[in-house]
Amino acid sequence: MAEVQRRVGAELDRIGPVIDELGERFASAGEQLALVGGPVRDAMLGRLQNDLDFTTSARPETTERLIAGWADAVWDMGRAFGTIGCRKGPWQVEITTFRADTYDPTSRKPDVEYGDTLAGDLGRRDFTVNAMAVTLPDRGFEDPFGGLLDLAHRVLRTPGRPEDSFSDDPLRMMRAARFAAQLGFGVAPEVVEAMTAMAGRIEIISAERVRDELVKLVCAPHPRLGLTLLVQTGLADHVLPELPALALERDEHHRHKDVYEHTLTVLEQSIALEDRLGGGPDFISRFAALMHDVGKPRTRRFEAGGIVTFHHHDVVGAKLTHKRMQALRFSNAEIDAVSKLVELHLRFHGYGTGEWTDSAVRRYVRDAGDQLERLHILTRADCTTRNRRKAERLRRTYDDLETRIARLSEEEELAALRPDLDGNQIMQILGIGPGREVGEAYKHLLDLRLEHGPATPEEAKAALLEWWAERTGGGPATAK
């Protein structure tokens, strides 16, 4: 406990320039103000952050007046929900009026109602570890629901009955899974029971809000914990049904691996390789790992001799991924990136022990496009065999492929793989204007580039004229 107090004190001192000045401003106006939620929880966990959440007795218009001239910038996009945001130096601040809102059983949006007390505001929060507050400017600690004890026990509980909490805001069920993944916490049995009983209520929540929670969960340090909870409680059946579908009924002779467990392992192995991307958590790479085998349930076949096959599950999986991400309102760029990775995740297995020609390597790079590095990660992560010799052989083979890609890239600039002539040059040589023929000529030259590597301008021109002569039946060329 002494260590927790020390951490909290140090964090409050660090953010003192914000909390002390704000506290004085609101107190002088006769209003209450408290630091609340995630910042208080994270201070106790020793996790520093510059996003600060406050709750106040002041109405939004009063809050706006009190921070005018103090904040570097102010925004009010959340005014309808009682929230005024601002920036002060490196800190992002949100100040929300005490709330007591609830959901109508058939509505996707809460009915916003202002509350009167700090205790009442804390009581409507999702979990006890987020229902602690530091009052300002006196820095008093408020913990009416035992959040500190739950934090020590690393467990998620609701301030009141979980059934009431999830009825008020069904998205809190998703947040339970997300916080389990972010914090590595367990979930109280009564919370799991309520999530299971009320899973279908998530249907009233907008796809965008579900998507945002799913992204946070997948990008958390322990996504397996959150995903397992979604499947266990039945929530995944409503928000990501492709995941529980991977828990295929095993045939009596166990002739195929557990696809669900394999997928979670691939996700974890993908995360372990993320440093290749040079940044933090990468949603595209992680979600591709999660979705890479979703085509297997639809393509599973039992063949003669007890063989289990999943032919074309890569193509089927890409289509299912595209459809699911569209339903969750992901951007077209995100959908295209993940779907491409799912579709290409088996391509490497045609490499054998290195029999691909340079042409095949070029096509691999060309098809992967800007997702090549993520494809490297997914392909390596997809090896979950316990046979060490097999795993080492696959690793060495992929090392060889990457080496060949690097060599060809250095020689031929594969990352910018294009035909040896551009559209303007094609039109000039053939003496034609813009149209379908230019695109077809471009594709023909690109195929030649992929097959044979770079050509000189003279060689490319000769190849173009030969193609044009064949296309026009060997008649006189109009080319210049």
Among 3.40.50.2000, 3.30.460.10, 2.40.37.10, 3.20.180.10, name the CATH number for the domain at 1-150. 3.30.460.10
pLDDT at 305: 76
CB 342 within 8 A of CB 288: yes
Structure-token match 């009915």, residue found: 111
Domain edges within the chain: 1-150, 154-240, 245-416, 423-471
Q: Quote the Cα angle for 449-319-442, to 5°.
A: 20
Measure Cα distances from 397 to 34, 287, 348, 404 in Å. 58, 25, 9, 11
CB 401 within 8 A of CB 351: yes
> Residue 151 CB: number of other CB atoms within 10 A?
23
CB 202 within 8 A of CB 235: yes
CB 177 within 8 A of CB 156: no
As a whole number of angstroms, the distance between CA 167 and CA 173 comes to 10
**Backbone angle region of 278, left / alpha / beta, with phi > 0 → left and psi within -120 to 50 → alpha:** left
Q: Which mean pLDDT values do the consecutive 10-residue runs of the chain (480 residues) have?
A: 81 91 96 95 88 96 95 92 94 92 60 85 94 96 95 96 93 98 97 98 96 98 98 98 84 61 96 92 98 93 82 95 98 98 94 84 89 96 91 92 86 66 87 87 84 83 87 55
pLDDT at 107: 61
As a whole number of angstroms, the distance between CA 425 and CA 295 comes to 43
Structure tokens given for 417: 């793989």
Name every residue whose Cβ is closer than 8 Å to that of residue 40 and which is 6 or more positions away in sequence.
8, 132, 133, 134
For 187, the 3-state DSSP assignment is strand
Architecture of domain 154-240: Orthogonal Bundle (1.10)
As a whole number of angstroms, the distance between CA 213 and CA 420 comes to 46
Give the amino acid at 337.
A
Name which of 3, 73, 58, 51 is nearest 27 in CA terms: 58
pLDDT digits (tens, 9 = 90+) for 309-356: 888 999 999 999 999 999 999 999 999 999 999 999 999 988 887 888
Give the amino acid at 121.
D
Helices (H), 328-387: 332-344, 358-368, 372-381
As a whole number of angstroms, the distance between CA 179 and CA 234 comes to 17
As a whole number of angstroms, the distance between CA 94 and CA 42 comes to 16
pLDDT at 146: 96
As a whole number of angstroms, the distance between CA 216 and CA 453 comes to 43
pLDDT at 226: 98
Structure-token match 């929060």, residue found: 125
pLDDT digits (tens, 9 = 90+) for 66-103: 999 999 999 998 898 899 999 999 999 999 999 875 55
Structure tokens given for 360: 């095949």
CB 191 within 8 A of CB 156: yes
Structure-token match 């529980």, residue found: 244
Structure tokens given for 179: 């916080």
For 218, the 3-state DSSP assignment is helix
CATH topology of domain 245-416: Hypothetical protein af1432 (1.10.3210)
As a whole number of angstroms, the distance between CA 245 and CA 234 comes to 11
Q: Residue 395: enclosing H or E segment and its boundaries?
A: helix 388-412
Q: Residue 172: enclosing H or E segment and its boundaries?
A: helix 171-183
pLDDT at 251: 46
Structure tokens given for 182: 């972010």
Measure Cα distances from 167 to 161, 199, 227, 317, 399 in Å. 10, 11, 22, 34, 52
Name every residue whose Cβ is closer than 8 Å to that of residue 101 and which is 6 or more positions away in sequence.
110, 111, 112, 113, 124, 168
> Residue 349 CB: number of other CB atoms within 10 A?
11
Name every residue whose Cβ is closer than 8 Å to that of residue 308 and which is 6 or more positions away in sequence.
251, 255, 256, 300, 301, 302
As a whole number of angstroms, the distance between CA 288 and CA 416 comes to 24
